[in-house]
Structure 1
Amino acid sequence: MTRADLTDWQPCPVPQRAPLQGRYVRLEALQLAAHGEDLWWALQGPEADPQLWDYLPYGPFAERPAFDAWMAANAASTDPLFFAVVELTSRRAVGLLSFLRMAPKDGCIEIGHIAFGRVMQRSPASTEAVYLLAELAMETLGYRRLEWKCNALNARSMRAAERLGFVHEGTFRQHMVVKGRNRDSAWFALLDHDWPACRAAFTRWLAPDNFDAQGRQRRTLEQLREDTARA
């Protein structure tokens, strides 16, 4: 049950640019000099996901200067606050994501601007990248509400949100105009009282013993979350 009385509530700290270390990836504050070359190939190279930019409000970038200008603007931004996802085995940046729409006074923060290279997709790296930001927001900084929003036509993003434990709250019709087209936005959120079960499931799912010799998961994130909720 959500508490109505929050007389003891204090605003949350704003996330900083400090790195976040995981088992598979490290999140680093986005920098053009450090990450630009890797991300150009991961997001725009010949092996990049052709659907990556379909629902993002920018891209794809036909030329490197335009991509670099976009990267530099992201790196200088504080809200959104961008992080590069660096794969620990290759030491290459393979994706990016951000915090955005931060409201420390209300304890509300969003994860978005997600652009993962093909090597990250459907991998422990992609799950861990989101988990690291979620843990920082909900566990370390004490936010009450973590949001996820996407185009209501973006089935991949909606499936990902629900898999990660976000609850669908509804659709905001004619919410935005993106690339000259209407966008109805699907809203998802993860609340503070949902976080302990989600955190336990993330931790168990990311553990090495949850994967077989071929890297296949033994238990899904949804199954582990259900197990935790029943315990």
Structure 2
Amino acid sequence: MRRRNEYDQEVGFPVANWKGRRFPEKVTIAGDYCVLEPLDCARHAEQLFEAFGREDAGSMWTYLPVGPFRDAEEFQKHVRSLAESTQAVHFAIVNRRTGRAMGSFCLTRIDAENGVAEVGLVVFSPGMQKTVMSTEAHYLLLRHAFESLQYRRLEWKCDVCNEPSKRAALRLGFQHEGMFRQTAVWKGVNRNHHWFSIIDAEWETCSEAFRQWLCDANFENGKQKRALVDIRNGC
């Protein structure tokens, strides 16, 4: 039912006793396959540079505003600047079995007053892509944002040409909201961006799907029995 105020104007639904949320802290978040650690140049830069450089990694950076990096020193400066940022909270994704960093991402564009943040600068090494660990890493970050921080909205944005990122967002449960035109110029190229989101009302369904997908019973000989999207949709 639509609501109207005392001026007979249509308004949104009430959010009782809303108070702004806290800015995300640098915390360690442990899962079964990986650990999210606050990004630290001394601890993670060398490991990430090695992980990212196992193959011709230039294509990893095509749709990002940074990279590729000429050498370890340049990459180290990049990692240090991320780790020292006060506008975003960056995490290294550490393989729990080996203890080595395999990827990184962050919470960025943080609007704590309204409980909104973006999952951004997602860079997963070739050895991490399309693994259970990569899915668990996203689950841990989303769970932290919705349950520990009690945020209302998590966003995902990607270049409209970046089909793998678009597929990943939809697989993880983000809803497509539309395309924003000419949002940036990176590396001398115009960027249009798809916008996606998960809101708090959707998180219970998404969270349960993650838990069922990550369960050992969902895998046989290393292969999934049910896809994450199918579980979420009740198939």
**Per the shorter chain, which TM-score range?**
over 0.9
AA aligned to 2:42 is A
Q: Is the 8 A contact 1:85 1:95 kept in 2?
A: yes
After superposition, where does 1:80-119 map in structure 2 within 5 Å?
Answer: 80-119=88-127
Which whole-Å deviations, capped at 9, do the CAs of 1:91-144 have from their partners, x for residues lacking one? 110000000011111111110100000111011111111111100111111111
User: Percent of counterpart pairs with the same letter?
Assistant: 41
Matched, 1:21 2:39: no
Q: CA deviation at 1:49?
A: 4.1
Is residue 58–residue 68 contact of structure 2 (8 Å, CA) maintained in 1? no
Given the superposition, is the C-alpha separation of residues 69 and 46 from structure 1 closer, same or farther in structure 2, using an over 3 Å criterion? same
SS in 2 for 1:83: strand
Q: CA RMSD in A?
A: 1.6
State TM-score, norm by structure 1.
0.94
Distance 1:51 1:212 in 2: 32
Distance in 1 separating the partners of 2:56 and 2:143: 28
Q: Which stretch of structure 1 is more off in the superposition, 22-31 or 61-70? A: 61-70
Distance 1:162 1:49 in 2: 24
Contact conserved, 1:42 with 1:48, CA < 8 A, in 2? no
Please report the TM-score for the alignment, with normalisation by the length of structure 2.
0.92
Which residue pairs with 2:182 in the alignment? 174
Structure 2 gap segments, 5+ residues each: 3-11
Q: Identify the residue that residue 79 of structure 1 maps to in structure 2.
A: 87
* 1:152-210 alpha-carbon deviations (Å, 9 max, x no partner): 11000000000000000000001111111100010000011110000000011111111
The aligned counterpart of 2:20 is: 11
Kindly indicate whether the alpha-carbon contact (under 8 Å) linking 2:20 and 2:113 is maintained by their aligned counterparts in 1.
yes
Task: Please list every run of 5 or more consecutive structure 1 residues that lacks an aligned counterpart in the other structure.
Answer: none
**1:13, CA displacement in angstroms?**
1.6
Q: 1:226 maps to which residue?
A: 233
Aligned residues: 226
d(CA) in 1 for partners of 2:47, 2:220: 29
Is 1:63 the equivalent of 2:71?
yes
Query: Retained in 1: the 8 A contact 2:46–2:72?
Result: no
Equivalent residue for 2:154, pick from 136, 146, 153: 146
Letter in 1 for 2:50: W
Distance of 1:212 and 1:78 partners within structure 2: 43
Residue range with higher mean Cα deviation, 6-15 or 52-61: 6-15
Q: Distance in 2 between matches of 1:46 and 1:7?
A: 51
Q: Deviations over 1:64-111 (max 9, x none)?
A: 211110010011113221000000111110000000011111111110
Deviations 1:34-68 (A, max 9, x none): 1111101111x233544211101010011121111
